[in-house]
Amino acid sequence: MIRSKRPWRRFKLPLVSNSLLKTLRAKVRRITCLLERKYGVPYRKGRGDPIEILIQTILSQNTNDRNRDRAYQRLKTQFPHWEDVLRARTRTVIQAIRPGGLAEQKARRIKETLRWIKNREGEMSLAFLKKMDSDEIKKAIGDLKGIGPKTVHCLLLFGMGREAFPVDTHILRVGKRLGFIPERMSAEKAHQWMVPLIPNKKSLSLHLNLIRFGREICKAKSPQCEICFLSRECIFSYQSNFQISPLP
């Protein structure tokens, strides 16, 4: 089993006063409500297979959804069972997932992850995680090389129906513009930062709606500020490039 050189750890986050924490919680609650009013309340269409979620999230690193889906489809077409991936030569797996980018690195991670699963319980199943609480799962899976907080939070949220909040590139950008994630914070740290801010049982709703908002309105290069329904919460004025944040 290959373990990360930087095993799952808790980051040192900026200190915030109780009153600022309260302000941020209220802000995130208002944003969650406004997003639900506009986009509706997303619901779970059943739980995905945890191994599928894990592999898809590895494939999604540094690429867009379209390329990830192409790479995943090719992988599943060529190797219908996860054991097949494990038995295959690494270069064949690399060829299969090439459209997702970073194919050499991802192929190695996928094979190492599948080998770890198989060796741990003697079968290709993550069913053993059901008995663990979320912190134990973060430690068990998050210590694997190449598996970061986003992958683990995706597994918890989409593969296991737990409360967890993956921070992707859209959420990081929008969270900073709306002022609930500090300007210089990394996505890795933001996973831990967001834990006390998510309204109860709203992680799925906030995660999916913020991504939609980031894709449709608060785009990276050309945010549609003139039609933005969250502008009152925004600390970022794109035109004047003027930012004020109460965050450390």
Report the nearest approach of ligand SF4 to the CB of residue 27 (Å): 12
Residues 163-182 that bind ligand SF4 (CB under 6 A): 177-178
Could you write out the three-class secondary structure of 177-243?
HHCCCCCCCCHHHHHHHHHHHCCCCCHHHHHHHHHHHHHHCCCCCCCCHHHCCCHHHCCEECCCCEE
Locus of tokens 């808790």: 10
Q: Is 234 a binder of ligand SF4 (CB under 6 A)?
A: yes
Report the nearest approach of ligand SF4 to the CB of residue 227 (Å): 8
The number of angstroms, rounded, from the C-alpha of 120 to the middle of its chain's C-alpha atoms is: 25
Q: Is 158 a binder of ligand SF4 (CB under 6 A)?
A: no
- Distance, in Å, from the CA atom of 88 to the CA atom of 79, rounded to the nearest integer, reads 9
- Distance, in Å, from the CA atom of 84 to the CA atom of 13, rounded to the nearest integer, reads 42
- Distance, in Å, from the CA atom of 169 to the CA atom of 64, rounded to the nearest integer, reads 10
106, 138, 150, 176: the catalytic one is 150
Question: Is 12 noted as a catalytic residue in this protein?
Answer: no
Beta-carbon neighbour count of residue 218 at 10 Å? Answer: 23
147 or 230: whose CB is closer to ligand SF4? Answer: 230
3 or 215: whose CB is closer to ligand SF4? Answer: 215
Report the nearest approach of ligand SF4 to the CB of residue 248 (Å): 21
Report the nearest approach of ligand SF4 to the CB of residue 232 (Å): 9
77 or 239: whose CB is closer to ligand SF4? Answer: 239
Active-site residue numbers?
Answer: 150
Site residues for ligand SF4 per CB under 6 A: 177-178, 217-218, 223-225, 228, 230-231, 234, 236, 238
